[in-house]
Structure 1
Amino acid sequence: MTTYLLVHGAWHTGECWTRVTPLLEAAGHRVLAPTLTGYGDTAHLAGPEVGLDTHVADVTGLIREEDLTDVVLVGHSYAGLVISSVANELPDRIARLVYLDAMVPEDGESAADVLPVTQGLIDLALASESGWRVPPMPELPPPAGLFGVTDPDDVAWLRTMLSDQPVRCLQQPVRLDNPATRAIPRTHIHCTVKPEGFSRRPVPAVQPNGTPAEIWELPTGHDCMITMPVELSELLLKLA
């Protein structure tokens, strides 16, 4: 049995994994898909003090509380920053990092460093009335849709999950100063349908642990756990 810990990205909740979780569980594996602080049922906790460190603490706390080991740690989008810092703190408990259409940082980088277009969102939030709220990205014409979701029913469902992102999440840097983190194997899953302006940083041909990079693709938009849950689950099951 493999333990999958699925971490949602900015603006979302753990509910976004609803179509993936039963498929992994049906194959005999354990799946956890928490909602990070400030989203969903804890949206009332969102504020200027909530940041990347808050979400790293959410995940490391869950790993310790559940005494999880040999975890396949999956981070979607912004959560690439989260899982990187989690691995830095608990490298002995992580079997593999999976960057699911995610930001892949180096030590000391923030979201704006990894994805420069994010700086525009930060600037707007700082200049807004709240000074910290980053609203979800708007729905675009197909094929971009709402985070890559274009089916009307799926868009309506996704809208029930979305809430504002605290700007501090996009400002705080990732810590990757633990040498043991470099030994953890990585898998990158890229969604190939991308809106204009969102260029992906190339994945180095060699992983930090010295092995060849492992890159898989799904021919869909950003929220592949909603649009292609079966195909995504099949890829994740290869890692069991």
Structure 2
Amino acid sequence: MTAFVLVSGPFTGDWVWQEVAARLREAGAEVHPAMLTGMGDHRRPGGPGTDLGTHVEDLVRLIDGIDAAEVVIVGHDYGIHPVLGAADRRPERIARVVYLDAGMPEDGDAAVALVPDHALRERLLQQSGPSESDWRVPPPQGDEWQRWGSTDGIPAEALARMDRLAVPQPAGTFTQPLRLSGAASGLPTTGVLCTAGGVGIETVEFLVRSGPPQFRRLADPQVSFFELATGHWPMLSSPGELASVLLRAAAGEGHRVAAAPSEQPDHLRSFLMDVPERPRERVGRTDLYLPDADEPRPAVVFVHGGPVSPDARPTPRDWPGFVGYCRYVASLGAVGVMLDHRLHALTDYARAAEDVAAAVERVRADPRVDGERIALWYFSAGGLLSADPLAEPPPWLRCVALTYPVLAPLPGWGLVDSRFRPVAAVGSAGRLPVVLTRVGRENAAIAATVGEFLSAAENCKAGVEVVDVPLGRHGFETTDHSEEARGAVERAVRSVLGHLTG
């Protein structure tokens, strides 16, 4: 017999699983909806010391009391943090870990990164420790639930029940980092993706193929996926479908991402053009590729996407695509600049923007650079960082370039500060030239942001030049060595340099 341990997200308890648990039991499964300390059970009221470790201990005790041969442990939203902590402590007891519309936290990550309210997130991060008066975070009510995840499909009665039964979340459960030894890293896992939030299997395949390196592990044959066409709380909106998916996950079913683990990641393949090497100077997180010139030259600063894990090696500035762009620009007489900024999570956009701004100032101060002729070139999810220069173009900025960019936070990216919305900022760009490289085989959600940006640009008469790559896809510079692709890169680079020298 399989036993399911069901762990809910913030502000909720075992009651949220009532209908799912009934359906699982009807199918013959043993079910244990978890009630964690401080989450509404008068027998375990919690206190200022209640933290993630407390909830991990709750689950370890629950697992130790289960006699079933196989335990499938399910973590929804915040619940994946204590789930992974408990699985790390009892890996021999766990048959499968199910991520139910949850993130992928690693050792050292805290759930505070999931808090959508920027002010609340900052307050939690600045707290030295919860006190008797502020050790709990009040639950959302009414329309506020939408900020924590899509409420699509939840009946009105169930929404009212959420308001009625929700309880404050102990602050320490958000702020204490998850600690993992790696003991559970080889366990089979299943991701259940709720597509009303904008993320589905297509997104996973896109991330494995073209995203940051940490997503490569999603192509492991031990990892499977299911989609549910509903919002963030499927236990309330689609309990029957969720129960069926959990039973199938326990049986080892689910979609596997089709990518050979030994295949070289797209971002580490060779650049599509054979460009000559150029002298490179490395200072801190910034590299300068220098042209043959006796006088100060304009510079192009390249800004990578992400989020990229801080442990990723090589780092983006050594990825062949960016090295190729920098060398190409330098071969044509400008200084190519590449930096590693610290966009490690969706909450890091402000820090990444600071890194880019600091790198630009260092470059402008270099005597080999004409500090009044600078272009900023953004890629992929780094495109959100273009919002600042588009909103208030500085006089030294001669051009903004965008290549397969994300130009508005994607569905499910509620953690991104609202400041980073180029679709809104372009209205203030004035006559600043923008060169946008658009790929025809783009992820649908990203393509929608590009369309929205171009509509906004047209409405405000912004100067946007579109370089189309009809057969190209995200990251095409290292996967497509066709004449079409090379022509698009050449056209975009020469257009940007034309704005710098014109």
Are 1:3 and 1:71, in contact at CA under 8 Å, matched by a contact in 2?
A: yes
> Quick check: 1:228 aligned with 2:238?
yes
Spell out, residue by residue over 1:108-159, the C-alpha distance to the aligned partner (whole angstroms, 9 max, x if none): 111134x364664344465999332211234328977986164221112222
TM-score (normalised: structure 2) = 0.42
Could you say what secondary structure the match of 1:58 adopts?
Answer: helix
Q: Distance in 2 between matches of 1:234 and 1:82?
A: 24
Are 1:140 and 1:146, in contact at CA under 8 Å, matched by a contact in 2?
A: no
Q: Distance in 1 between matches of 2:37 and 2:187?
A: 26
Q: Equivalent residue for 2:175? A: 171
Are 2:37 and 2:58, in contact at CA under 8 Å, matched by a contact in 1?
A: yes
Are 2:142 and 2:163, in contact at CA under 8 Å, matched by a contact in 1?
A: no
Are 2:48 and 2:132, in contact at CA under 8 Å, matched by a contact in 1?
A: no
Q: Equivalent residue for 2:95? A: 95
Distance 1:89 1:120, change over 3 A: farther
Q: Counterpart amino acid of 1:221?
A: G
User: Equivalences for 1:1-240 in 2 at 5 Å?
Assistant: 1-42=1-42, 45-113=45-113, 115=114, 117=116, 120-124=119-123, 126=127, 130-140=133-143, 148=151, 150-178=154-182, 180-194=183-197, 204-207=215-218, 210-211=220-221, 213-238=223-248, 239-240=250-251
Q: CA RMSD in A?
A: 3.0
Task: Tell me by how many angstroms 1:193 deviates.
Answer: 2.3
4+ residue runs of structure 1 moved beyond 4 angstroms? Answer: 124-129, 141-147, 200-203
Distance 1:89 1:156, change over 3 A: same
Aligned residues: 233
Q: Which has the higher contact order (CA 8 A, sep 6+)?
A: 1
Name which of structure 1's ranges 124-133 and 22-31 shifts more when overlaid on structure 2.
Answer: 124-133
Q: Distance in 1 between matches of 2:14 and 2:143?
A: 23
Query: Unpaired segments of 5 or more residues in structure 1?
Result: none
Name which of structure 1's ranges 48-57 and 64-73 shifts more when overlaid on structure 2.
Answer: 64-73
Q: Counterpart amino acid of 1:58?
A: D
Are 1:148 and 1:223, in contact at CA under 8 Å, matched by a contact in 2?
A: yes
TM-score (normalised: structure 1) = 0.84
Larger CA Rg, structure 1 vs 2: 2
Q: Counterpart amino acid of 1:175?
A: R
Are 1:99 and 1:186, in contact at CA under 8 Å, matched by a contact in 2?
A: yes
Task: Tell me by how many angstroms 1:20 deviates.
Answer: 0.4
Q: Counterpart amino acid of 1:227?
A: S
Q: What percent identity do the matched residue pairs reach?
A: 36
Q: Equivalent residue for 2:427? A: none
